[in-house]
Amino acid sequence: MAKILGIGNLVLDLILNVTHYPQEDDEVRAQARRYQCGGNVANSLYVLSQLGHQTAIVTTLAVDEASKQLKQTLQQRGIDTQYIQRFIKGATPTSYIQVAQDTGSRTITHFRQLPEVEFDHFAKIEIEAFDWLHFEGRNLDALGGMLNIAKTFLTHQTISLEVEKPREGIEALFAQANVLFFSQQYAQAKGFNSAQAWLQHIKKHHTHAHLICTWGEQGAWYCSAGGDIEHQPAENIKPIDTLGAGDTFNAGVIDALIQGKSLQQAVQQASHLAARKCLQIGFDDLLSPLITRKPIANIKHITSARATVVPAPGLKHKVVLIKHNDEVKAYENNCPHQDVPLDEAYKIDINPFEMTMKCSVHDAFFRIEDGVCIEGPCWRDELKAVAIEIDEQSGYIYLAQ
């Protein structure tokens, strides 16, 4: 177990789950709403806590009610909060996030009215007591001084820097870090259309550090200090919630390098952990393997010609499974017309030409593609979609966590 200090932002995430990302001037109904503790460093530290490390955060908090909840959540997650700087003026930073069910993508609007960590506050921390310092590449007014202190007083400890967004002057700080995490957003803002092209450029100037650049579904490119550029493909999954996948990836790399693994092994581990994160909502129980859950079906038994109805532990209704264009669709077996199972009277009829399913009670026809009723007494109502996960090796289908 290592002692890890994270320096960065802490926010309250207000998350709305929607079936699809709305167009401008659209009005959509959220399927669910939740609040959670957020911020890049806070998320990474929570994952590292689950991986068995002793973590602490350096950030700022207001004195409003939301800040009390955030601090309590950090403590519940095993993150030391003694280095938090409090400000009387200002409010808790908030991110308003829409998670699209059809793609798993997330769109974020951030509001901040709170100062960042001051240099003098950081300078009082006994950073020598930690094995790893991880900085979020923001707060440029103080970040340079913080990194200078770390570089000056630390002997064997590793310093990592996450560079997510382009900020004026941040490039001058790269020399202070041993591990540099770059985002696709940053590389593209610098005029590069691939992670490989960006790393080929930056490695000419920074041969001292491990360099890593993630590129969404294409995976991650990386090179060890002075080494060659290599590629780690992303795992082929259908994401449920991508919020925090990058933070999870960073934590996976840090954990593996602390264990003495190679950068290649670290990126492989991080990619798997990030994929695991995308298959569930939130970060809780992130290390629980999928196999510990009982499957509800196997994909080899699911066809486009027949609706398969299976029990679903933890859900009020059974689940209807059916293939559509090589994708398994899952809906609660409950007709929105009168809250009865679709197969209440007899089996669910499938029209392969119209690609619809028919409720056996009052002849409501639902599109297989999205569960929308296109004919019948509940026209335009929708079957409730059920999030599932499919293990590619075994073919087992699980309810998503």
Q: Kindly give the confidence (pLDDT) of every residue in the chain, 401 residues in length, as a single tens digit, with 9 standing for 90 and above.
A: 799 999 999 999 898 888 888 888 888 888 888 888 999 999 999 999 999 999 999 999 999 999 999 999 999 999 999 999 999 989 999 989 888 877 767 888 999 999 999 999 999 999 999 999 999 999 999 999 999 999 999 999 999 999 999 999 999 999 999 999 999 999 999 999 999 999 999 998 888 899 999 999 999 999 999 899 999 999 888 888 888 999 999 999 999 999 999 999 999 999 999 999 998 888 998 887 644 567 888 998 899 999 999 988 778 899 999 999 989 999 999 999 988 999 988 899 999 999 999 998 988 999 999 999 999 999 989 999 999 988 877 788 988 86
Residue 128 burial (C-beta neighbours within 10 Å; 0-12, 13-18, 19+)? exposed
| φ, ψ (nearest 5 deg) of residue 329 | -100, 140
Residues contacting 203, CB < 8 A, separation 6+: 211, 223, 229
Look at residue 31 in the predicted model and tell me its pLDDT. Answer: 82
Same domain assignment for residues 200 and 320 = no
Contact 387, 286 (CB under 8 A): no
Same domain assignment for residues 118 and 227 = yes
Contacts 24+ apart (CB under 8 A), 351-359: 352/304, 352/305, 355/324, 357/307, 357/320, 357/322, 359/335
Contact 299, 328 (CB under 8 A): yes
Look at residue 341 in the predicted model and tell me its pLDDT. Answer: 93
Same domain assignment for residues 49 and 187 = yes
DSSP alpha helix (H) spans, 131-173? 140-153
Same domain assignment for residues 148 and 187 = yes
Say which residue the tokens 């974020």 belong to. Answer: 108
Same domain assignment for residues 377 and 267 = no
Same domain assignment for residues 317 and 247 = no
Burial letters for 296-308: b for 16+ Cβ neighbours within 10 Å, e otherwise? Answer: bbebeebebeebb
| φ, ψ (nearest 5 deg) of residue 94 | -135, 135
| φ, ψ (nearest 5 deg) of residue 268 | -60, -45
Contact 287, 296 (CB under 8 A): no
Say which residue the tokens 């590793």 belong to. Answer: 158
Residue 83: CA atoms inside 13 Å, Cβ hemisphere, count?
26
Same domain assignment for residues 179 and 42 = yes
d(CA 359, CA 71): 49
Same domain assignment for residues 323 and 375 = yes
Strand-pair partners of 49: none
CATH number at residue 392: 2.102.10.10
Domain limit, last residue, from 253, 288, 323:
288
Domain limit, last residue, from 261, 288, 315:
288
Look at residue 291 in the predicted model and tell me its pLDDT. Answer: 45
Task: Specify the amino acid at residue 363.
Answer: D
Q: The tokens of 269 are what? A: 């581990």
Element (H, E) at 160: strand 158-163
Task: Specify the amino acid at residue 390.
Answer: I
The angle subtended at Cα 103 by Cα 100 and Cα 105, nearest 5°, is 60
Same domain assignment for residues 279 and 392 = no
Q: How many independent structural domains does the chain possess? A: 2
Same domain assignment for residues 160 and 111 = yes
Look at residue 182 in the predicted model and tell me its pLDDT. Answer: 97
Domain limit, last residue, from 251, 268, 288:
288
What domain range is 49 assigned to? 3-288
Contact 396, 310 (CB under 8 A): no
Q: The tokens of 173 are what? A: 């700080």
CATH number at residue 17: 3.40.1190.20
DSSP labels, 313-327? TTSSS-EEEEEETTE
Contact 398, 312 (CB under 8 A): no
Q: The tokens of 145 are what? A: 């001084």
Residues contacting 119, CB < 8 A, separation 6+: 141, 142, 145, 146
By 3-state DSSP, what share of the chain in percent is helix, strand and coil, each rounded to 5? Answer: 25, 30, 45
d(CA 401, CA 397): 12
Residue 300: CA atoms inside 13 Å, Cβ hemisphere, count?
5
Say which residue the tokens 């999954």 belong to. Answer: 237
Same domain assignment for residues 193 and 241 = yes
Same domain assignment for residues 212 and 342 = no
Q: The tokens of 279 are what? A: 């298959």
This prediction has a pTM of 0.71
Look at residue 240 in the predicted model and tell me its pLDDT. Answer: 80
